[in-house]
Chains A and B, each alone.
Chain A
Amino acid sequence: GENVEQHPSTLSVQEGDSAVIKCTYSDSASNYFPWYKQELGKRPQLIIDIRSNVGEKKDQRIAVTLNKTAKHFSLHITETQPEDSAVYFCAATGPNFGNEKLTFGTGTRLTIIP
């Protein structure tokens, strides 16, 4: 089955700096890669996703890049703000998303230092 590795497990950055979180996956059939943000005591919320036919996607301060050959994808947050502090999870799933499970990475606790 799919295996998703995520690094780093913790990350602290100064407010205004950029943060990068990296994930690798094992199953070459995976083609949908969402990123979730989970604030303390709350449910995971999708913040951005990317499909295998796209190399990069951007939404304001958040971007995701995908390298299918190397089987890794990354989350980039620019101009970080205190409200970006949370745990971030990457995930991967196959072509029949909605009817297939998500495999999650181990999570990255991001702390923004004011």
Chain B
Amino acid sequence: SAVISQKPSRDICQRGTSLTIQCQVDSQVTMMFWYRQQPGQSLTLIATANQGSEATYESGFVIDKFPISRPNLTFSTLTVSNMSPEDSSIYLCSVGRGDTEAFFGQGTRLTVV
């Protein structure tokens, strides 16, 4: 199994500000995935972070709004920029290795006021 440490676990932010979420994995992984889970909804992939290259964003998500860093094979950050109340959600990082299951961080519950 993989251990993923994600922080912060929750935050309340003012609109117009930015929040950076961190994920640390206990072993090296090629890909890290960032998901958004809006209240009562399923998980929607924001982007895939591959070490050494630009993140790949899904339709509806842009780098200016959700910049991602992936400085090494065990760490990634997601920034939610210029926040509005619509960004209130749970953000989760995830990793998968080979043909094994995906593991999730504990999530960041973001509330924008």
User: For B42, B104, B106, which residue has the most chain A Cβ atoms within 10 angstroms?
Assistant: B42
B65 to chain A, nearest CB (A): 19
Instruction: Please classify how large the interface on chain B is, using the bins under 10, 10 to 19, 20 to 34, 35 or more.
Output: 20 to 34
Instruction: Please classify how large the interface on chain A is, using the bins under 10, 10 to 19, 20 to 34, 35 or more.
Output: 20 to 34
Compute the total of residue contacts between A and B using a CB distance below 8 Å: 52
Stretch from B12-20, B66-74, B80-88, B95-103 forming part of the interface with A: B95-103
- B 14-50 binary contact with A (CB < 8 Å = 1; else 0): 0000000000000001110100000001111100100
- A 55-88 binary contact with B (CB < 8 Å = 1; else 0): 0000000000000000000000000000000000
Q: Is the CB of A43 within 8 A of B104?
A: yes
Interface status of A102 (Cβ within 8 A of chain B): yes
Q: Which A residues lie at the B interface, using CB under 8 A?
A: 32, 34, 42-46, 49, 51, 89, 97-107
